């Protein structure tokens, strides 16, 4: 049975629908990603899973429990790292870890967590004196200190440098390998592609696609990009007629095509027949970035208006 089930989730603020009939399920022990543009409703969705918001329609269940009606029971099995969090300015890292451990009947040992997240040398540092990246690592530790069955991570590695980001990815993979289910909200395509078993792409409050990273990449309009410098002229019309070709362009003497694996095969056959040498031939597979752009609508304003409004509403509450 899925450990998280979301069916027809809808949330509105005034006359604005932020989440519009979102449905997905998360299997025990998987890393499930939610990916989408700024303002798509990702944070509102996971806050309903955490029990921080009450849906206007639809149902949410965590291990069969309603996160709102059974909030106390859900908090014992679900850890959460919010998109924006604060602690008392004078609390030290050690005090925060000990305090959060005391909230749980069987907490994890926070010392290995602190070591793994590079916090050991900051145990005596007050929260206000931590850098942005150190605060982020502390909140990840606090999400995991209760030894949760499910952990929700909203913008997991925002503010972390590349090395700390990769170390954190390895930690999350280890957490999943220990049996913990991870619900991950992220803007980093590389992060989603490396960590997630499946991804729901959310755009304008709706799930537009749900698949494995490889499955989403396979949906990209052009799954392969090819570029080369021909040793003799080639007709653009002949290139455009290749099976599966998406586009043909020229830049600085180089030919650039997008298409499919079949396009590449037919291109190589064409070059052989025309006795054309492809100088500096490069063949690049599509990435999750390409799939994301194909699956989400462009917007004139990419400000995260939904999350900004949600955060303000949460602070007022």
Mean pLDDT of successive 10-residue stretches along the chain, which has 317 residues: 95 94 96 92 95 96 97 94 91 97 93 92 96 90 94 88 88 91 91 94 94 84 85 93 91 90 92 95 85 71 43 38
Contacts of 317 (CB under 8 A, 6+ apart): none
Contact 97, 141 (CB under 8 A): yes
pLDDT at 310: 45
Whole-prediction pTM: 0.78
pLDDT at 159: 78
Instruction: Tell me, rounded to whole angstroms, the distance of Cα 64 from its chain centroid.
Output: 24
What is the C-alpha separation between 315 and 279, in angstroms, rounded? 58
Ramachandran category for residue 252: left, alpha or beta (phi over 0 → left; psi -120 to 50 → alpha): left
Q: Which residues, in sequence order, are bridge partners of residue 167? A: none
SS3 53: coil
pLDDT at 103: 92
Nearest to 192 by CA among 311, 42, 4, 22: 42
Report the b/e string of 55-89 with b at 16+ CB within 10 A: beebebbbbebebeeeeeebbebbbbbbbeeebee
């Amino acid at each position: 049975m899925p450990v998280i089930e979301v069916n027809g989730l809808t949330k509105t603020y005034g006359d604005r629908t932020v989440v519009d009939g979102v449905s997905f399920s998360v299997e025990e022990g998987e890393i499930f990603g939610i990916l989408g543009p700024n303002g798509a409703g990702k944070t509102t969705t996971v806050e309903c899973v955490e029990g921080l918001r009450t849906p206007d329609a639809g149902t949410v269940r965590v291990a069969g429990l309603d996160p709102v009606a059974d909030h106390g029971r859900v908090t014992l099995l679900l850890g959460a790292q919010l998109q924006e969090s604060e602690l008392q300015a004078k609390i030290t890292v050690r005090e925060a870890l000990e305090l959060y451990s005391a909230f749980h009947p069987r907490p994890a040992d926070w010392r290995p967590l602190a070591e793994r997240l590079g916090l050991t040398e900051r145990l005596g540092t007050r929260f206000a004196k931590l850098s942005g990246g150190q605060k982020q690592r502390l909140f990840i530790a606090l999400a995991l200190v209760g030894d949760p069955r499910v952990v929700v991570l909203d913008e997991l590695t925002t503010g972390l440098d590349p090395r700390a980001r990769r170390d954190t990815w390895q930690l999350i993979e280890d957490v999943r390998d220990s049996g913990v289910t991870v619900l991950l909200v992220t803007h980093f395509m590389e992060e989603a592609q490396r960590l997630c078993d499946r991804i729901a792409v959310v755009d304008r409050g709706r799930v537009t696609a749900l698949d494995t990273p490889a499955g989403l990449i396979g949906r990209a309009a052009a799954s392969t990009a090819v570029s080369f410098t021909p040793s003799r002229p080639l007709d653009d019309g002949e290139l455009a007629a290749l099976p599966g070709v998406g586009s043909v362009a020229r830049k600085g003497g180089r030919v650039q095509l997008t298409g499919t694996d079949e396009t590449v095969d037919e291109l190589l056959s064409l070059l052989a027949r025309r006795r054309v040498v492809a100088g500096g031939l490069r063949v690049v597979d599509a990435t999750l970035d390409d799939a994301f752009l194909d699956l989400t609508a462009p917007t004139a304003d990419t400000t995260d208006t939904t999350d900004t409004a949600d955060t303000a509403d949460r602070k007022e509450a």
